[in-house]
Amino acid sequence: MPHAEDQRCVTVVLCGSDGSVVGQLPALVAGPRWWPEVDSVVAQVEERFGLVVTVLRLLTTDTDVAGGDVSYLAQVRSGRPPEATEVVDGRINDALSSDPRNRLWWAEPGGLDHLPAWVDAALRAHDRRRTGPLRQRKTWNLSVVVTAPTDDGQVWFKATPSFLADEGGAIRRVAQADPEIVPVVLAHDPGRRALLMEHVPGEDQFGLSDESVLETMVRQWVSVQAALTGDVEHALAIGARDLRRSALVAAVEDLVGRSEVRTGLADTDLEAVETLVLDLPGCLDDVAACGLPDAVLHGDMHPGNWRRDGDRLTLLDWGDIAVGNPMLDQRAFVERLPDPSLRERISQLWAGLWRESVPGSQPARAASLLAPVAELAAAATYQRFLDHIEVTERVYHALDPADRLRAAVRAGRAEDRADS
């Protein structure tokens, strides 16, 4: 079936609430190519086949790189599937019977059955009511996102896995420092890592190049970080990654010792990575000597995780929070900016704000030293994902640890050239 570049050919395999397979539907085309986005898939299944479904999990893909043709397992909520046919694809059948260890609760048949009642109860606590059906937006191994219309605007449900932080807890703590920077939480279930939020109006800021807006983002976030420097233990208690010296060295050493990681690297890259790992404790000692305190990190600090509505900026996606040197967030932010001179100016602003907050510190030097460290930390984080997700969903992240290790080598070489 031909399809445009930003679309995917989708095979939907249907199951009942008990997990029994009903059959598969004729292929359909949906956009965008990004696999977690299931809104258009659910809508097309209802429009073409008269079925209300919930997408549970990814089964197979046509590529090892995230995005493209795909098959999903979906639970039938209502309607009869007259066009469903027997599943004959061997890969799909293998995926249907794959190892269920690490399967997330929302990927199980019936996993989201409780959600309408939970949302309705949460809304009643705020004297509100739902005015239409829930709408599934996204599902994958890092989150499930569902929206609901209400008599006072749209609300968003989101849940994340146990190996990420409790996003609701993180938002509520950050709101004590700056309530304007985070979404409004209506309900929070820490056990399921779930929350219900008010809709955040505006546009996500992917590709942002407006320097004045970037400066405002940096000033807001550094101000929050500085206010939360004493909050490290609280962040760890709600699931933040520990990127401080001892924990980070242990995670990186474990990663580089794995046979599957080592075989994914060329000999020259592996040698360079091993050198970085040997030097890591001393590098982190040098970073500590720059005088900055450990801080709460957003963990995925890039302009696309900010939403802008006029002058208001809201920072989203708090499941990746971590604790460590605050300049780790700076690198993640500036590396996404399109213009080198803009990156330099924003870096200088970020460093200057921390110098003001911690007189005598050397944030610019810390950021420079952390260039390869940030990539090593990212590689360890992706491996953490892989260790905790089921086999059919590993395709999302399987290439990432080795990619980030190669990036650490490049960053280390760039630092060597800068110092020479």
pTM of the model: 0.94
Confidence of residue 3 (pLDDT cuts 50, 70, 90): low
Whole-number pLDDT of residue 332: 87
Higher pLDDT, 1 or 89: 89
Strand ranges in 173-277 using DSSP code E only, listed in sequence order: 185-189, 194-198, 203-204, 241-242
Q: Between 3.10.20.740, 3.40.630.10, 3.30.200.20, 2.60.320.10, what CATH number should domain 115-198 receive?
A: 3.30.200.20
What the block records as the tokens of 101 is 């260890």
Q: Bin 156: left if φ > 0, else alpha if -120 < ψ < 50, else beta.
A: beta
pLDDT tier at 419, thresholds 50, 70, 90 = low
Whole-number mean pLDDT of the chain? 95
Tens-digit pLDDT profile for residues 376-416 = 999 999 999 999 999 999 999 999 999 999 999 999 987 66
Q: Give the whole-angstrom CA distance, residue 219 versus residue 228.
A: 14
C-beta of residue 155 within 8 angstroms of C-beta of residue 134: no
Q: What is the CATH architecture of 203-419?
A: Alpha-Beta Complex (3.90)
- Tell me the longest C-alpha to C-alpha distance in the chain: 72
Query: What mean pLDDT do residues 161-168 have?
Result: 96
Sign of CA dihedral 343, 203, 314, 34: negative
Proportion of the chain above pLDDT 70, given as a percent = 98
H or E stretch covering 332: helix 327-334
The pLDDT of residue 221? 97
pLDDT at 315 exceeding the cut of 60: yes
d(CA 260, CA 262): 6
